[in-house]
Amino acid sequence: MKLTCPECKNDVDLTRYPNLAPEDVIECNVCGITLMVNSIGDEGVVAEVVDEGK
């Protein structure tokens, strides 16, 4: 699986999340932002930035 961070555009290391599922909250290992998984498909993982300030 592959996830490109929507914030920093780098590939997020998903090996730390072997049981990744939609609505899981993960952290970008490059920029440290918090992301929530929207969907997991053949073309990779889609995630959005979690705005913790709201």
34 membership: H or E segment, kind and range = strand 34-41
Rounded to whole angstroms, the Cα distance separating 22 from 49 reads: 14
Among 7, 11, 24, 27, the residue binding Zn ion under the rule CB under 5 A is: 7
Cα Rg of the chain, angstroms:
10
Among 1, 14, 20, 30, the residue binding Zn ion under the rule CB under 5 A is: 30
Among 16, 22, 25, 31, the residue binding Zn ion under the rule CB under 5 A is: 31
What are the structure tokens assigned to 30, written together?
């490059």
Q: Which residues from 10-29 bind Zn ion, rule CB under 5 A?
A: 28
- By the criterion CB under 5 A, which residues form the site for Zn ion? 5, 7-8, 28, 30-31
